[in-house]
C-alpha cells in the first residue's frame, strides 16, 4: 500500500518532490521481539502492549510495544537498550523517557535478516536536566527503518541526541525538538551513510519556542553507489523568543557520480532578536586535504576514508559507550570502502 | 531646501499618480471568446492564437499552487484582463497621449532616456505606448520594439524563441499569461554587438482591478552584450491588481546579459511573474532585483546553465512592510561542465511584513567541476514580521563544490547608539544601517537606480521610530 510520509513543516515548490516521501509498504502485525536493558536499578520501568501507534512520520499502525522509563535519581552509568529482531520480523515500539533526573541512554537496533522497524522515542525533561541520548541503527542491509525522535525540553535543560543511521534499504527518520521553556537547549547530531540503492528520507525540526533557547543540528553524511537521500532540517524561531540562537550545518560527501543528495535547510523566523544560521556543503572531498594525506604515502581510498571518518568523529565522540562506538566504526569502515 | 520628509512625500506621490480618465476595460475575466477577441484586436497570425487557446486549456486544468502565500483573494473572474489602447504605439514622446505622458514624465522616464539609456519602452496598462531605440543601435542590427510589433515584423525570430524557455503549462498563472499576453518588449542583439548603454522598459499599471500580462523576450546572440533594466510601478487602489508577466531570456555562447529590475508595485498588487533564462557556453547572466512593492509577490527567476563554463549571478533584495508577503528567490539548473552560480540575496522585513527566500538548485550529473555559492541574509526590524529561508538543493555528481549559507539577525542596539552618539537621530541611524546592509545590492544597479533604491528604503523606513 502507498503511504505519503514525513511531511515538512512548511510546504515548498513541488519540483524536487521534497515535501514528503511516497513509499510502498507492506505493514504486518507487530511481533514482540527481545529487548534488554543494561541495568534496571534506580529506574521506574513500565512495559505495556498498546494500540494505536503514531509518530510524526505519519505511519499509523495498531499494536505496539510501549516502554516507559523514569530515573529515580541522577544516574552516571549509561543505560543501554538493545532491541534484537527475530528473523523477518516487524516491530512497532515507543520508548518514553521521563527525565526527572539526569540519564544518558543508548538505544541499539539489531537484525540479521530483513526487518521492519517503526519506532518512536519520546523524551520529556524536567528543569536543569542534562542528557545524552544515542540511537544506533545496526539492522540488516535489507531492513526498513522508520525512526521518530521527539523531545520537549524544560528550563535550563539540555538534551543531546545522536542518531547513527548507517544501514537499511529504506530509512525514514524524523526529529522534533520543542524548546518550550526559557534557556532550554537541544543538539541533534546525525551520521548517515547511503550505499547501493538505499534510500534515506530525513525530516528534522527544532522549534525555538521560548526566550534564550539554543538549537543546534549537525549532519555528517556520505553517499556511495546509487544511494539517494533527502534531508530536510528546519529551525523555527516562533514569536517572542528573543535572545535565542539556532544553527544547522550539513556536510555531505558524494563518493560516486550516480548517488543523489537532496537538502532543504529551512530557517523560519518570527522574532527580531535572534541569531539563526544554516550552512550546507556538498560535493567531493576537499582536494587539498586529499593531496596532503596522499603525499604522506596514504592511498587515495584510505585518505578518503580518513577524511570522512574525521567528519564523523565529531558525532561519534558524543557516544558514551566505547564498545558500541567501536562496533559503529567497524561498520563505517566497511561501508565507505 | 526640501527636507527628507518632503522629498519622500513627493516621491510617494509620484509612484501613486492616478489619472482621472475613464478606463476602457474592454475585457473582464478569461474565456475562449475573450482570448479570440484580444488576438483579433491585435491582428495576430493563427499560430499565436493557437498558443493562446492551448494555454487557456492548461489554465482551466491547472490548480493554484499548494505552497507559498495565500492567493485565494484573487478573484480571477473579476480581473480586467485587457484594456484597449487609446492610441497606437508612438516612437516620439510628443505623440504619446497627454495624460499618459504626464505620468511617465513625473516618473522621470524621458529624462533617464536622454541621460543614460540606449533605448526606452513604456507600457501603460495592457499595451506599450512608446518604444524608441538609438539610431546607432538600429544600424548595428539591434531590435528593440514592443512584442506585438515583433510578432508582425520578425515572425520567424519570435516563433523560434517564443515559449521555448517558459513552457505554456509551467503553472496556472503562466498559462493565464500565455492566454492573455499583451505588450512587453522584444530585444534582439546580433552576434558580437556590445551595447554600452542599457535599454529600459517601464511597466505602469494605472487601472484599478486590472491585470498586466506583458511578455518580454530577449535574445543576446554569440559574443554580444546587453544590459536591460525593467521598472514597474502602479498607484494604490482598494481593488486587487494582478501582474502575471513573463520574461524569456536567451544568452548565447560567450554572450553577456545583465537583467535588472526595480519593482515598486502598489500594495494592492498580486505580483505573480515568471522569468527564465537559458545560457550557452561561456555565457553569463546577471540578475539584479530590487523588490519593494506589491501585496503578494511570487517570483523566482530561473536560469538553465546549458553550456560548459556558463555563469549565473543573482543579486537581490526584498523589503516587505506592513501587509506585504514577498515570496522571492531563484532557481538554477546546472547542465554543463565548469558552470558556476553565485547568489547573494538580502531581505528586510518590518511592521508585520513577510519575506521568504526560496531557492531550487539542481546540479545535474553531467555538470562536473561546477561551483556554487549561495548566501542569504535577512534583517528583521521587529518581531511582528517574518523572515523565512527555504532553499532546496539537488546534487547529482560528486565533482562539484557547493556552499550554502543563510543568516538571520537584527540591528544591534550598539550600532544605533554609536551613530546617535555621532549626532544622528535614531531614524537617520536606522536608515543608514539598512542602506549599508543593502549596499552590495544597490551598487550593482546603475547610479540613478541605486539612488532610487535608497529612496525607496528611506520611504519604507519613514516613521519606523516612535
3-state secondary structure chain B: CCCHHHHHHHHHHHHCCCCCCCCCEEEECCCHHHHHHHHHHCCCCHHHHHHHHHHHHHHHHCCCCCCCCCCCCCCCCCCEEEECCCCCCECCHHHCCHHHHHHHHHHCHHHHHHHHCCEEEEEECCEEEEEEECHHHHHCCCEEEEHHHHHHHCHHHHHHHCCCCCCCCCCHHHHHHHHHCCCCEEEEECCCCECCCCEEEEEECCCCCEEECCEEEEEECCCCEEEEEEEEECCCCCCCEEECCEEEEEECCCCEEEEEEEEECCCCEEECCEEEEEECCCCEEEEEEEECCCCEEEECCEEEECCCCCEEEEEEEEEECCCCEEEEEEEEEECCCCCEEEEEEEEEECCCCEEEEEEEEEECCCCCCCEEEEEEEEEECCCCCEEEEEEEEEECCCCCEEEEEEEEECCCHHHHHHHHHCCCCHHHHHHHHHHHHHHHHHCCCCHHHHHHHHHHHHHHHCCCCC
Q: Do B410 and A264 touch (CB under 8 A)?
A: no
User: Does B455 fall in a domain?
Assistant: yes
Residue numbers in A near B368 (CB within 8 A): 257
On whether the CB atoms of residues A213 and A180 are closer than 8 A, the answer is no
The answer to whether residue B3 is domain-embedded is no
Chain A from 18 to 37: CB within 8 A of any B CB = 18-19
Name the residue of chain A whose CA is nearest to B350's CA. A272
Task: Find how far residue A8's CA is from the centre of its chain.
Answer: 16
In a mutational test of the B interface, the residue from A13, A219, A234, A265 whose CB has the highest number of chain B CBs within 10 Å is A13
- Put simply, whether A239 touches B (Cβ < 8 Å) is yes
Length of chain A counted residue by residue = 337
Q: Provide the pLDDT for residue B11.
A: 44
| DSSP 8-state assignment for residue B295 | S
The interface residues of chain B toward chain A in range 316-345, judged by CB-CB distance below 8 A, are 331
B66 to chain A, any CB pair closer than 8 A? The answer is: yes
- Predicted confidence band at A88 (pLDDT cuts at 50, 70, 90)? low
Does the pLDDT at position B178 exceed 70?
A: yes
Q: Which residue has the higher pLDDT, B429 or B19?
A: B429
CA distance B444 to chain A (A): 25
Is residue B6 over pLDDT 50? no
Q: What is the pLDDT of residues B131-144, one digit of tens each?
A: 777 788 889 999 99
| Same domain, residue pair B403 and B441 | no
Are residues B408 and B421 both part of a single domain?
A: no
User: What ipTM was estimated for this complex?
Assistant: 0.87
pLDDT at position B1 over 50: no
Mean pLDDT, rounded, of chain A: 92
Asked whether residue A322 carries a pLDDT value surpassing 90, the answer given is: yes
Section B439-456 average pLDDT: 76
Whether the CB of A103 is below 8 Å from some CB of chain B: the reply is no
Q: Do B111 and B232 belong to one domain?
A: yes
At B78, the pLDDT band (50, 70, 90 cuts) reads confident
Which residues 282-311 on chain A approach chain B with CB closer than 8 angstroms? 282-284
State whether B374 and B258 are in the same domain: yes
Q: What residue ranges do the domains of chain A occupy? A: 29-284
Closest of A154, A263, A150, A271 to residue A200, by C-alpha = A263
> pLDDT band for position A15 (50/70/90)?
confident
Confidence bin at A284 (pLDDT 50/70/90):
low
Q: What is the pLDDT of residue B2?
A: 38
Mean pLDDT of B111-116: 64
Q: Give me the domain span that covers residue B226.
A: 17-415
Residue B378 contacts A where some CB pair is shorter than 8 Å: yes
Same domain flag for B221 and B364:
yes
Is B188 or A282 the better-scoring residue by pLDDT?
B188
Residues of chain B with Cβ-Cβ distance to A258 below 8 Å are 365
The CA distance from A129 to A155, in Å, is 8
Is residue B6 assigned to a domain? no
The answer to whether residue B7 sits within a structural domain is no
Q: Does A264 touch chain B (CB under 8 A)?
A: yes
Farthest-apart Cα atoms in chain A, separation: 60
- Give B364-410 pLDDT, tens digit per residue: 999 999 999 999 888 888 889 999 999 999 988 878 888 888 888 78
Residues B211, B251, single domain; the answer is yes
Interchain contact, A280 vs B410, CB within 8 Å = no
- Domain-located, residue B138: yes
Which residue in B274, B366, B383 has the most chain A C-beta atoms within 10 A of its own C-beta, making it the best mutation to test that interface? B383
Answer with the one of B395, B415, B435 that is the final residue of a domain. Answer: B415
For A150-182, how does the pLDDT look when each residue is reduced to its tens digit (9 = 90+)? 999 999 999 999 999 999 999 999 999 999 999
- At B292, is the pLDDT very low, low, confident or very high (cuts 50, 70, 90)? confident
pLDDT at A36: 87
pLDDT higher than 60, residue B466: no
Mutate which of A270, A286, A336 to test chain B, going by most B C-beta atoms within 10 A? A270
Judge: A254–B397 Cβ closer than 8 Å, yes or no. Answer: yes
The residue-averaged pLDDT of A65-94 equals 90
Q: CB distance from B403 to chain A under 8 Å?
A: yes
Where residue A145 falls among pLDDT bands split at 50, 70, 90?
very high
Burial of A282 (0-12, 13-18, 19+ CB in 10 A): buried
Residue B85 pLDDT level (bands cut at 50, 70, 90): low
B359 and B375 co-located in one domain: yes
Contact B397 A264 (CB under 8 A): no
Q: Is it the case that residue A337 has pLDDT exceeding 80? A: no
Q: Is the pLDDT of residue B15 over 70?
A: no
| A239 neighbourhood in chain B, CB within 8 Å | 383
Residue B275: the pLDDT is: 97
A13 contact residues in B (CB cutoff 8 A): 65, 67-68, 300, 358, 360, 392
Q: Are residues B311 and B458 in the same domain?
A: no
Percent of chain B scoring above 90 in pLDDT: 50
How many domains would you assign to chain B? 2
B397 and B306 share one domain: yes
- The C-alpha atoms of residue A311 and residue A327 are separated, in whole angstroms, by 17
Lowest model confidence (mean pLDDT) among A39-43, A78-82, B28-32: B28-32
Average pLDDT over residues B428-436: 86
Cβ-Cβ contacts under 8 Å for B167 (sequence gap 6 or more): B174
Number of other residues whose CB lies within 10 A of the CB of residue B153: 12
Residue A26 has pLDDT above 90, yes or no: no
B67 touching chain A per CB within 8 A: yes
Amino acid at each position: 500500500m502507498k503511504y505519503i510520509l514525513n511531511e515538512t513543516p512548511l510546504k515548498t515548490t513541488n519540483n524536487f518532490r521534497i515535501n514528503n516521501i511516497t513509499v510502498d509498504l507492506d505493514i504486518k502485525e507487530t511481533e514482540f521481539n527481545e529487548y534488554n536493558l543494561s541495568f534496571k536499578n534506580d529506574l521506574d520501568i513500565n512495559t505495556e502492549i498498546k494500540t494505536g501507534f503514531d509518530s510524526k512520520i505519519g505511519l499509523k499502525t495498531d499494536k505496539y510495544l510501549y516502554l516507559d522509563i523514569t530515573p529515580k535519581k541522577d544516574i552516571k552509568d549509561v543505560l543501554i537498550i538493545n532491541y534484537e529482531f527475530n528473523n523477518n520480523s516487524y516491530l512497532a515500539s515507543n520508548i518514553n523517557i521521563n527525565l526527572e533526573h539526569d540519564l544518558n541512554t543508548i538505544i541499539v537496533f539489531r537484525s540479521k535478516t530483513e526487518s521492519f522497524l517503526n519506532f518512536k522515542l519520546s523524551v520529556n525533561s524536567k528543569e536543569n536536566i542534562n542528557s545524552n541520548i544515542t540511537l544506533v541503527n545496526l539492522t540488516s542491509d535489507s531492513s526498513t527503518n522508520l525512526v521518530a525522535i521527539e523531545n520537549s525540553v524544560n528550563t535550563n535543560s539540555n538534551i543531546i541526541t545522536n542518531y547513527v543511521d548507517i544501514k537499511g534499504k529504506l530509512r525514514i527518520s524524523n526529529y522534533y525538538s520543542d524548546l518550550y521553556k526559557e534557556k532550554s537547549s537541544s543538539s541533534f547530531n546525525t551520521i548517515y551513510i547511503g550505499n547501493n540503492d538505499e534510500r534515506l528520507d530525513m525530516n528534522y525540526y527544532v522549534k525555538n519556542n521560548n526566550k534564550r533557547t539554543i538549537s543546534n543540528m549537525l549532519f555528517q553524511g556520505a553517499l556511495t553507489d546509487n544511494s539517494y537521500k533527502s534531508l530536510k532540517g528546519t529551525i523555527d524561531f516562533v514569536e517572542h523568543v528573543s535572545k535565542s540562537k539556532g544553527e544547522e550545518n550539513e556536510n555531505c560527501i558524494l563518493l560516486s557520480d550516480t548517488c543523489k543528495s537532496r537538502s532543504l535547510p529551512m530557517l523560519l523566523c518570527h522574532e527580531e532578536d535572534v541569531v539563526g544560521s544554516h550552512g550546507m556543503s556538498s560535493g567531493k572531498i576537499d582536494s587539498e586535504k586529499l593531496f596532503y594525506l596522499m603525499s604522506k604515502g596514504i592511498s587515495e581510498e584510505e585518505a578518503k576514508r580518513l577524511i570522512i571518518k574525521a567528519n564523523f568523529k565529531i558525532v561519534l565522540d558524543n557516544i558514551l559507550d566505547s564498545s558500541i562506538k567501536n562496533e559503529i566504526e567497524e561498520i563505517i569502515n566497511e561501508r565507505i570502502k | 531646501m526640501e527636507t527628507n520628509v518632503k522629498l519622500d512625500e513627493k516621491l510617494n506621490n509620484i509612484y501613486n499618480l492616478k489619472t482621472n480618465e475613464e478606463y476602457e476595460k474592454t475585457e473582464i475575466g478569461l474565456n475562449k471568446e475573450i482570448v479570440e477577441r484580444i488576438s483579433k484586436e491585435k491582428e495576430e497570425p493563427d499560430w499565436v492564437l493557437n498558443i493562446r487557446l492551448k494555454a487557456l486549456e492548461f489554465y482551466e486544468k491547472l490548480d493554484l499552487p499548494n505552497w507559498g502565500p495565500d492567493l485565494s483573494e484573487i478573484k480571477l473572474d473579476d480581473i480586467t484582463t485587457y484594456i484597449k489602447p487609446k492610441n497606437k504605439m508612438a516612437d516620439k514622446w510628443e505623440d504619446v497621449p497627454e495624460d499618459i505622458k504626464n505620468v511617465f514624465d513625473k516618473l522621470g522616464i524621458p529624462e533617464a532616456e536622454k541621460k543614460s539609456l540606449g533605448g526606452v519602452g513604456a507600457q501603460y496598462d495592457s499595451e506599450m505606448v512608446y518604444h524608441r531605440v538609438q539610431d546607432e543601435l538600429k544600424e548595428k542590427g539591434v531590435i528593440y520594439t514592443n512584442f506585438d510589433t515583433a510578432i508582425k515584423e520578425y515572425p520567424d525570430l519570435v516563433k523560434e524563441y517564443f515559449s521555448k524557455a517558459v513552457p505554456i503549462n509551467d503553472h496556472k498563472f503562466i498559462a493565464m499569461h500565455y492566454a492573455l499576453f499583451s505588450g512587453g518588449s522584444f530585444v534582439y542583439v546580433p552576434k558580437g554587438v556590445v551595447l554600452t548603454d542599457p535599454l529600459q522598459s517601464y511597466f505602469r499599471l494605472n487601472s484599478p482591478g486590472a491585470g498586466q500580462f506583458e511578455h518580454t523576450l530577449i535574445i543576446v546572440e554569440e559574443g554580444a552584450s546587453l544590459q536591460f533594466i525593467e521598472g514597474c510601478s502602479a498607484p494604490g487602489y482598494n481593488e486587487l491588481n494582478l501582474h502575471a508577466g513573463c520574461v524569456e531570456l536567451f544568452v548565447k555562447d560567450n554572450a553577456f546579459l545583465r537583467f535588472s529590475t526595480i519593482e515598486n508595485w502598489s500594495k494592492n498588487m498580486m505580483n505573480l511573474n515568471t522569468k527564465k533564462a537559458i545560457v550557452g557556453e561561456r555565457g553569463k547572466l546577471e540578475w539584479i532585483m530590487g523588490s519593494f512593492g506589491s501585496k503578494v509577490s511570487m517570483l523566482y527567476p530561473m536560469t538553465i546553465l546549458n553550456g560548459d563554463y556558463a555563469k549565473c549571478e543573482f543579486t537581490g533584495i526584498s523589503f516587505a512592510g506592513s501587509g506585504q508577503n514577498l515570496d522571492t528567490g531563484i532557481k538554477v539548473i546546472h547542465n554543463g561542465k565548469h558552470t558556476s552560480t553565485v547568489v547573494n540575496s538580502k531581505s528586510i522585513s518590518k511592521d508585520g511584513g513577510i519575506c521568504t527566500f526560496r531557492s531550487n538548485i539542481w546540479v545535474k550529473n553531467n555538470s562536473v567541476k561546477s561551483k556554487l555559492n549561495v548566501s542569504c541574509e535577512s534583517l528583521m526590524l521587529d518581531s511582528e514580521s517574518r523572515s523565512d529561508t527555504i532553499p532546496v538543493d539537488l546534487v547529482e555528481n560528486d565533482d562539484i563544490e557547493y556552499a550554502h549559507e543563510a543568516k538571520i539577525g537584527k540591528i544591534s542596539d550598539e550600532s544605533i547608539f554609536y551613530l546617535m552618539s555621532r549626532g544622528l537621530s535614531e531614524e537617520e541611524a536606522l536608515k543608514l544601517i539598512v542602506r549599508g546592509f543593502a549596499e552590495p545590492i544597490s551598487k550593482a544597479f546603475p547610479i540613478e537606480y541605486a539612488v532610487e533604491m535608497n529612496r525607496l528604503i528611506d520611504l519604507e523606513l519613514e516613521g519606523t521610530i516612535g
